[in-house]
Amino acid sequence: MADTHALLRAEMIVTGNTKAAVKAAGGGSSDLWTVPPDQIHYDVRDNVRPLDPGRVRHVANLIKENGYDRKKPLGCFVRKVDGEDLIFVYEGQHRYHGALLAITEGAHIERLPIVIDEAKSVSRVNLIYAGITNNDSEKLTPLQLAEKVIELQDLGEPNATICRRLNVTDQTIRDVLLLAHAPAALHKLVRDKVVSSTLAIDEIRAHGGEKALDRLQNAATEAKAVGKAKVTKKALAKPTTHKVTDAHAKQLLQALQSVLHDPIFGKLSPGTIAGIHAALTPHADLLDAVPATRAKYRIHKPNEHGVYTDCETLKAPLFKRTNKHPVEIDLAHVDLGKWIYSTSYAIGTAAGSSPCKLRGADTTYQTRGQAIRAAVQSLREQLDQWNTRNAKEMPGVHAWLEQLWTAPDPDWTGEMATEVAK
């Protein structure tokens, strides 16, 4: 699970002796084991579904009126704790807590019926699978399922095994993990049933986690203003693809300005040159300055290990939740017309870095812009992996990399273009 929703972790289960545990608890047996309620233990980590206080209250009321239904035994196993064999419930937690609540309010329940799993079948993985499949009549929400899928992955279960044992498709796994890595605030909208899991997944797939959160929060605010509790697909703002916004217009003008300052601009046809000048001249005040001449760069010097530590560093925008720059690019001007780069990143649970070091003439680039574009391409390949692809930092990183990729290169010359053309 992403950091947006902390998962509960548990130690390896050490199984205990069933008869010894029941005897120590003062229990008896017929077709089922029966045990005093206060001798049954509970650990939230053994149950796949979060405890619902409202459901506990409902079950307690039923027990107080009708007694505990002995046809509904609790699913339990025996765990060794500090050398003692103790009984833990892992299936029927709401019946268990409902019975305890009913007892505190006057209900008389001497023993609860339980079925204890054989020790050889008890493992964290099997508890998770059993908890999910035994809840099939009241299916887990996609978010609850995602939490357990990630825990199974952490325990070494392959996706193919998870799909087979839960009878779900690869697409289901991908969808719930997409939701799992979304911002915590989006999870809350889903848990509060303001937004359906399906709609949330569709929005994340289309816009990324942060943008999806903004759209859904805005839609929730608008729905609440008109007395509606839920966000529907129809209520979401449609992207204005049919219209060029001011921001888009400025981007187009800046792209034209980059063409204007390109060293081989003069080799374009006269009509194209005239058209660009005509388009740009009336809007010059809207454009950011783009260098039209080559800048002068100092030569960087390596340390005794050949690493360029005193070099230029480009940093992705600060990610507010971690207060860190998730990606950095180091640029070193090692000689006239020779640039090198190195990259580093720390995104989610993934990290990588390399020293800025000269590794041969074939790894140098003629201009600073060429080195930047090579670094961007390298980062795109490095970050296209399962544990970074859907991380919360990635939308901002993608936007930053795209900005670097499309930036003009004022050091690019007509001679270089001619050489490349050969």
Strands (E), 101-171: 112-116
Does pLDDT of 421 surpass 50? no
pLDDT tens string 48-58: 778 888 889 98
Does pLDDT of 92 surpass 80? yes
**238 confidence band (pLDDT: 50, 70, 90):** low
Does pLDDT of 122 surpass 50? yes
pLDDT tens string 341-350: 999 999 877 8
pTM > 0.75: no
Residue recorded with tokens 């120590």:
24
**Residue whose C-alpha is closest to residue 255's, from 285, 223, 280:** 280
CA distances from 278 to 90, 265, 272, 350 (A): 74, 15, 10, 49
* Position with higher pLDDT, 134 vs 124: 124
Quick count: other Cβ atoms within 10 Å of Cβ 40? 21
* Position with higher pLDDT, 321 vs 245: 321
Contacts of 295 (CB under 8 A, 6+ apart): 368, 410, 411
Helix or strand holding residue 143 (H, E): helix 142-154
* C-alpha 324: how far from chain center: 17
Does pLDDT of 379 surpass 80? yes
Average pLDDT, rounded, for the chain:
80
* Position with higher pLDDT, 275 vs 298: 298
Query: What is residue 371's predicted lDDT score, i.e. its pLDDT?
Result: 92
**Residue whose C-alpha is closest to residue 290's, from 376, 371, 412, 407:** 407
pLDDT tens string 247-268: 667 677 777 767 766 656 666 7
**Which domains occur in the chain, in start order?**
1-172 (3.90.1530.10), 182-234 (no CATH), 246-286 (no CATH), 312-421 (no CATH)
**288 confidence band (pLDDT: 50, 70, 90):** low
In the 3-class helix/strand/coil scheme, how is the chain assigned residue by residue?
CCCCCCCCCCCCCCECCHHHHHHHHCCEECCCEEECHHHEEECHHHCCCCCCHHHHHHHHHHHHHHCCCCCCCEEEEEEEECCEEEEEEEECHHHHHHHHHHHHCCCCCCCEEEEECCHHHCCHHHHHHHHHHHCHHHCCCHHHHHHHHHHHHHCCCCHHHHHHHHCCCHHHHHHHHHHHCCCHHHHHHHHCCCCCHHHHHHHHHHHCHHHHHHHHHHHHHHHHHCCCCCCCHHHCCCCCCCCCCHHHHHHHHHHHHHHHHCCCHHHCCHHHHHHHHHHHHHHHHHCCCCCCCCCCCCCCCCCCCCECCCCEEEECCCECCCCECCEEEEEEEEECCEEEEEEEEEECCEEEECCCECCCHHHCECCHHHHHHHHHHHHHHHCCCCCCCCCCCHHHHHHHHHHHHHCCCCCCCHHHHHHHHC
User: Residue 130 and residue 151: Cα distance in Å, rounded?
Assistant: 14
